[in-house]
Amino acid sequence: MWRTEICMGLASLAAACTAPSTTPRAIVDRYHGVEISDPYRWLEEDRPSTVAFKNALDATARRYLSALPGLPALEAKVAAAAHTRRILAPQPAGGRLFYVEADAAMSVPSVFVEDAGHPRKLLDGPQLHAAGERVHIRLWPTPDGRRVGVGITSTGGRRMRLTVIDAHSGRRLGDDIPDLVAGRSSVAWLDGGRSLAFVRFDVPDDVNAPLGEPKLIVRSPDGDERVVMTGPADTRLTIWTRTGHPGELVVARRSGDGRTSVWRVPDATASGSPQSLVAQGLGRSRYAGDLADKMIFATTVDAPQGQIISVTPATDGPPRTEVVIAPAQHPIDSWVGTGEMAAVVKDRIFVVYRRHTAWVIAIHDGAGRPTDSIELPTGTSMWTGLITDRTSNALYVSLSEFADPGTVYRIRPGQSRLTEWRGARPPYDPHAYVTELVSYPRPGQDPAPMFLSRRRDLTADGERPVLVYGYGWGGWSAAPWF
């Protein structure tokens, strides 16, 4: 079966196709009473037979591709595009903008800070790469913008250390904090940047071994550490500093079975203990900010489509929970990247919905009433969620598409449109390409939405070869990206 598919994919290879074959296995799961066959799942396992099969497929493809005319010229074009410099949406703090810049694949990122339109490099990605290290793309600046926390990993590794850098001089301050995990460890500054909260793991040396239990730790200015919360090894702890309450932590505690509870730590820098805000339920919850005394969350607990709730802490009883924005026809997007899918900006609530295959940013007043919306350009994917600038009340978001490695947009205070802040400059005109949303008929089912990208001057006459791609995971489906 695998050999047949490969030969069909490389039609002109025909009889010369020598790709290896492999054997399906009887792997069947039952979900909600329905049996799902997954005969090639074993090829996802990291074992010698899988590696050998992958290498054989790779060799077959390379033999075919090396004989194609014009391949060197095509490789040169692709390499030039891959080395295009791109920037992710900045993390604003204290009037400064902190951001990561790298090649289009984000393989060797560097860290920059920008003051009044003047960028400076804080960490050089190529130098770190030469030493076998890499910058993690998430940055954690202090609220005053004087310092920034940067995660540094070994190339290809998951163990991360957090280093703090002076934003003015570029010097590293104090000792690095070890045993964080890229993509799993959450970080938040407390008391305006005097104390630091982070999630540390017991990290096995074996990269294939599961992580140990997470520990939510608060480090004081003198380096003392206090464990605030722990969890089983399969628990994910995500933390935020509560808006307007610089000493208070907000914690989402998600267990391995997909159930989430929400907690607050009122006095995290002293002896404050976690207090329950939202009881555990199946789904995800993320903190979006505060409206007066109400804490706003985007959640899928008891609302698979997603909804916006407010939680009002009480000193003499349980917190009061209200639905601010009820579930809509289209779901709140679950992908957040380095930002959020809901954000409170002053007295407005911004929510990112996934409408079929496209995104829309809905704007609501403090009572949850819709006031406006922002349509994202057709054929784009959101590379970061909403990132809030608390100083200027602006929002930033990164978008990507097939021909554009990435453009950062800003939503200015009081406006309901995207304004380009910084874009990539590939060695061609991205506007020379167009992406359209089309429908593909399916017998007995609704038409399947598809994006069709092409050069703008190319006629879509049904005679052109196309590359078909699709991917999805965990309720998320891929949109066009570079």
Query: Tens digits of per-residue pLDDT, 26-59?
Result: 889 888 888 999 998 888 887 888 888 889 889 8
With a CB cutoff of 8 Å and minimum separation 6, the contacts of 281 are 259, 260, 261, 301, 302
Structure tokens at 419: 């304004």
- 3-state SS string for the chain: CHHHHHHHHCHHHHHHCCCCCCCCCCCEEEECCEEEECCCHHHHCCCHHHHHHHHHHHHHHHHHHHCCCCHHHHHHHHHHHHCCCEECCCEEECCEEEEEEECCCCCCCEEEEEECCEEEEEECHHHHHHCCEEEEEEEEECCCCCEEEEEEEECCCCEEEEEEEECCCCCEEEEEEEEEECCCCCEEEEHHHCEEEEEEECCCCCCCCCCCCEEEEEECCCCCEEEEEECCCCCEEEEEECCCCCCCEEEEEECCCCEEEEEEECCCCCCCCCEEEEEEEECCEEEEEEECCEEEEEECCCCCCCEEEEEECCCCCCCEEEEEECCCCCCECCCCCCCECEEEECCEEEEEEEECCEEEEEEEECCCCEEEEEECCCCCEECCCEEEECCCCEEEEEEEECCEEEEEEEECCCCCCCEEEEECCCCCCHHHEEEEEEEEEECCEEEEEEEEEEECCCCCCCCCCCCCCCCEECCEECCCCC
With a CB cutoff of 8 Å and minimum separation 6, the contacts of 244 are 290
Q: Name the residue with tokens 């702890």.
A: 237
Whether the pLDDT of residue 13 is over 60: the answer is no
Whether the pLDDT of residue 452 is over 60: the answer is yes
Mean per-residue pLDDT for 387-407? 92
CA distance 322 to 444: 41
With a CB cutoff of 8 Å and minimum separation 6, the contacts of 269 are 190, 191, 194, 195, 218, 220, 247
Residues 458, 459, 465, 466: is their CA dihedral positive or negative? Answer: positive
What pLDDT, on the 0 to 100 scale, is given for residue 183? 85
CA distance 66 to 16: 14
What pLDDT, on the 0 to 100 scale, is given for residue 74? 87
pLDDT bucket at 316, cuts 50 / 70 / 90: confident
pLDDT bucket at 1, cuts 50 / 70 / 90: very low
Nearest Cα neighbor of 151 from 193, 90, 100, 204 is 100
Conformational region of residue 106, where left means phi above 0, alpha means psi within -120 to 50, and beta covers everything else: left
Residue type, 189: W
- The number of beta carbons lying within 10 Å of the beta carbon of residue 32 is 5
Highest mean pLDDT among 179-183, 363-367, 460-464: 363-367
What pLDDT, on the 0 to 100 scale, is given for residue 475? 65
What pLDDT, on the 0 to 100 scale, is given for residue 17? 53
- Cα–Cα distances (Å) from 478 to 6, 245, 311, 351, in that order, read 23, 37, 32, 19
- The number of beta carbons lying within 10 Å of the beta carbon of residue 5 is 10
With a CB cutoff of 8 Å and minimum separation 6, the contacts of 399 are 376, 377, 380, 381, 382, 383, 406, 407, 408, 409
Stretch among 317-326, 341-350, 468-477 having the lowest mean pLDDT: 468-477
What pLDDT, on the 0 to 100 scale, is given for residue 15? 39
What pLDDT, on the 0 to 100 scale, is given for residue 300? 94
What pLDDT, on the 0 to 100 scale, is given for residue 3? 37
Whether the pLDDT of residue 336 is over 80: the answer is no
Q: Name the residue with tokens 């104090």.
A: 174
Query: Tens digits of per-residue pLDDT, 247-274?
Result: 999 999 999 889 999 999 998 988 878 9
Q: Name the residue with tokens 């992908």.
A: 335
pLDDT bucket at 371, cuts 50 / 70 / 90: very high
Mean per-residue pLDDT for 236-242? 95
Mean per-residue pLDDT for 151-169? 89
Query: Tens digits of per-residue pLDDT, 399-414?
Result: 999 899 989 999 998 8
- The number of beta carbons lying within 10 Å of the beta carbon of residue 4 is 11
Mean per-residue pLDDT for 427-447? 88
Higher pLDDT, 283 or 378: 283
Higher pLDDT, 224 or 16: 224
Mean pLDDT for all residues in the chain: 88
Whether the pLDDT of residue 342 is over 90: the answer is yes
Nearest Cα neighbor of 156 from 125, 183, 133 is 133
CA distance 430 to 340: 27
Backbone angles phi, psi at 60, to 5 degrees: -65, -45
Backbone angles phi, psi at 317, to 5 degrees: 175, -175
What pLDDT, on the 0 to 100 scale, is given for residue 5? 40
Higher pLDDT, 383 or 193: 193
